[in-house]
Amino acid sequence: MFSVIRIMFMTKNLKYTLPVLIAIVLGSLGFSWNSTEKDKEKLVLQLIHDALTSIHYQPKVVDDSLSSKVFDFYIKSLDSQKRFLHKGDIEELKAYRYQLDDELKSGSTDFLNKSIEISNTRFDEAKARYKKILSTPFDFYPDELFQTDSELRFYPDGENEMETFWRKYLKFRVLSRLYDRFESTDSASKISFGIDHEGFAQEEKKAREKELEIHDEWFKNMSENDRNDLFGLYVNSFTALFDPHTRYFAPRQKEEFEIELSGQLEGIGASLRQEGEYVEVVSIVTGSACWRQGDLEVGDKLLKVAQGNSEPEDIVGMTTTKVVSKVRGKKGTEVRLTVRKKDGSEKVISIIRDIVEIESTFARSAVIGDKKTTGYIRLPKFYVDFYKDSNRDCAEDVKNEIIKLKESGIKSLIFDLRGNGGGSLIAAIKIAGLFVDEGPMVQVKTSGQRVKSYNDRDKGSVWDGPLVVMVNEGTASASEIVAAALQDYGRALVLGTSQTFGKGTVQNILDFDRAAGPFNSSLRPLGALKLTIQKYYRISGGTTQLDGVQSDIILPHPYENFSFGEREMEFPLPVDKVLPVAYNSISKSNFEKVILKSRNRISINSGFKHIKAYSSWLDTQKAQTNIPLSYRDYFEREQNLNKEIKKYSDVLESENQLKIDWVDKDFRENLDSLDIMKYEKWFKSLSRDIYLAEGIRVVNDIENT
């Protein structure tokens, strides 16, 4: 059976075999179900088991060892901040530590039921506890600390320790609220926030009342999480052990797969994911409302949402689905997001919602410099339609942009893949082929099959001149294929962060409603499974998995001391290699000189020194997780922190403004005023880009060396 499954999951057959595969497996086992929630969960668990053990790229043995890891992952997911469960609860649940493999195979939910029972009890206790603690004023004079990093805390050993935790936690929250209110008041009103001032008691009371209101709303939202949500959490404790990208989507979450706040209609234009109790920004749609506003960044954690001038609502602890519903809204309306930046600061960002312009995700170009001899192409994402020939294809668009730039008289070219999360493998092969005469571009392996290389089928190159590819930690998947191929061929110098994201795997979607077959239609909806089925490799035999693409020229980056990308995730597929394929590498004799010149420039450039200083400062802040709870120490800490952050407010801006211009004046004449404004905003952001400035110097060195 397994060999048949592997054959059916060859790439060319995926479109046709995915809907029927698990139905065949289930039919062969003769399953019969009644239309109950219990039967639905049993069916999903067995579908998950069969998919993970027979279709996943790297199946694992579902045994006691895996069960133990699933147990730890689920407990962490259930109470990541250690706010509810007692140490004794964990000990009680440990009776199931080595039984979860058997429960997955049989479809049993005994462990899930027990964990829900305990969680509900602790939830009710916490609800009563925060109300009691917030009913009386806090004493802000004692010197005590609150550990904000849950990884450095233990589960409370009994009611007294849990009470102490919640008191410190709420005290920290109220202090934070007092400081925010202090910062937002005018200078005449700030005096009332002094701890010895007669007005302080009233300010402290207001902060506690607001915190009570927020926790009431937060607990109300959490109480709306039904069994389906918890069942999804449990199932994904199994999928996570196989790799970070394999994930089950419960029916309600299925439509939110790869959520974009731009939505299908109107929004701000950002993608989100759940990270513990926070919802985090994972990508920004180029040209969208938040992209145009400019302050929201990948990695920002959302803390509060406000509609226009209304009071901000605390969203910490809410599910991504609920957060999205609060951020979405009609075009032209305002949403204010309070976010926590990577440097620890908080910022309120006002965004006017809009319809996300798909056009803004397409390839676009510009000419740079007074002589206009350097061309620039930005590709925000890979896009291609496999079924409609009339739809736009990113490879064709990039080709056309190159042709326009060549006709304008450029001598060198910068291809910008920063923040490009990838997409179509076929498009990646075609795009790499625009810069190489012919030959293999990537190798792909499906579990149980031989490695297959994919070649560029179009002979000749569209651009054979000096080339720089710009990348960063957000350059992932298909865009890593392009950068790796051009680097292996010696066609381009790769410039950017030390390495790219490091995603070298391919996923596909199994729709469980279709996979379960017609005999189980009464149990629908069942959700879907995103499953890793392939890995791809460089033509040199290496992999982008975890390693990413190593930049030839490394540019200082504010977050270079932080783990980022695939290597930050739990249970990623490992680094491995395959045999290289035959390809004709181009001579790179002048690259070493160019790289050396760039490194020398970077070492003395004041802007890059400023970035290095910022990076070092951020590195020192990573360990500062024990926060003082005395009023004076807390306020002093926050004020010092804000002073340091202000020093680096323009850290990524170039000292010298670049000249950016239109490639084709006729193209500009055919745009409406709104599109012209978008382009000019884009030109302005490029003109102050310190990384692009070095990219221009590098590509000019390639031309002249």
- Do 382 and 481 fall into the same domain? yes
Specify the number of domains making up the chain: 3
- Do 389 and 482 fall into the same domain? yes
Q: Is residue 6 part of a domain?
A: no
Res 424: pLDDT? 82
Per the CB < 8 A criterion, the answer to whether 265 and 289 are in contact is no
The enclosing H or E element of 103 equals helix 100-106
- Do 195 and 264 fall into the same domain? no
- Do 555 and 651 fall into the same domain? yes
Res 404: pLDDT? 96
pTM: 0.81
Q: Is residue 10 part of a domain?
A: no
Per the CB < 8 A criterion, the answer to whether 352 and 333 are in contact is yes
| Residue 261 burial class via C-beta count within 10 angstroms: exposed 0-12, middle 13-18, buried 19 and up | buried
The enclosing H or E element of 536 equals strand 528-537
- Do 275 and 414 fall into the same domain? no
User: d(Cα 549, Cα 567) in Å, to the nearest integer?
Assistant: 13
- Do 606 and 680 fall into the same domain? yes
| Stretch among 23-32, 400-409, 413-422, 615-624 having the lowest mean pLDDT | 23-32
71-83 CB burial, b ≥16 within 10 A, e <16: bebbbebbbebbb
Tell me the residue range of the domain where 303 lies.
251-355
- Per-residue model confidence as pLDDT tens digits over 614-624: 999 999 988 89
- Do 205 and 321 fall into the same domain? no
- Do 182 and 135 fall into the same domain? yes
- The residues with which 335 forms a beta bridge, in sequence order, are 307, 351
Return the CATH number at 562: 3.90.226.10
- Do 403 and 347 fall into the same domain? no
Percent of the chain with pLDDT over 70: 90
Mean local confidence (pLDDT), 487-498:
97
Q: Tell the residue number behind the tokens 């990573």, with chain if given.
A: 622
Mean pLDDT over the full length of the chain = 87
Strand pairing of 528-537 and 354-355? unpaired
Q: Tell the residue number behind the tokens 């039919």, with chain if given.
A: 27
- Do 606 and 657 fall into the same domain? yes
Tell me which of 355, 380, 405 is where a domain ends: 355
Q: Is residue 222 part of a domain?
A: yes
Q: Is residue 16 part of a domain?
A: no
Q: Is residue 11 part of a domain?
A: no
Q: Is residue 104 part of a domain?
A: yes
Q: Is residue 28 part of a domain?
A: no
Residue 31 reports pLDDT greater than 70 = no
- Do 343 and 317 fall into the same domain? yes
Distances (CA, A) of 235 to 525, 544, 703: 16, 28, 55
Per-residue pLDDT band for 51 (boundaries 50, 70, 90) equals: very high
Residue 9 reports pLDDT greater than 80 = no
Res 237: pLDDT? 97
- Could you give phi then psi for residue 689, rounded to 5 degrees? -80, 110
- Per-residue model confidence as pLDDT tens digits over 594-607: 999 999 999 999 99
- Per-residue model confidence as pLDDT tens digits over 266-324: 578 787 877 767 888 877 776 678 877 888 988 889 999 999 888 888 888 777 777 88
Return the CATH number at 329: 2.30.42.10
Q: Is residue 591 part of a domain?
A: yes
Residue 21 reports pLDDT greater than 80 = no
Res 591: pLDDT? 95
Q: Which of the pair, 308 or 678, is modelled with greater confidence?
A: 308
Res 254: pLDDT? 53
Tell me which of 241, 260, 292 is where a domain ends: 241
Residue 387 reports pLDDT greater than 80 = no
| Stretch among 20-24, 158-162, 247-251, 470-474 having the lowest mean pLDDT | 20-24
Tell me which of 241, 275, 300 is where a domain ends: 241
Mean local confidence (pLDDT), 252-270:
53
Per-residue pLDDT band for 24 (boundaries 50, 70, 90) equals: very low
Distances (CA, A) of 264 to 96, 330, 354, 414, 626: 42, 12, 11, 33, 42
Q: Where are the beta strands (DSSP E) in 326-451?
A: 334-340, 346-352, 354-355, 364-368, 374-378, 412-416, 439-446
- Do 220 and 282 fall into the same domain? no
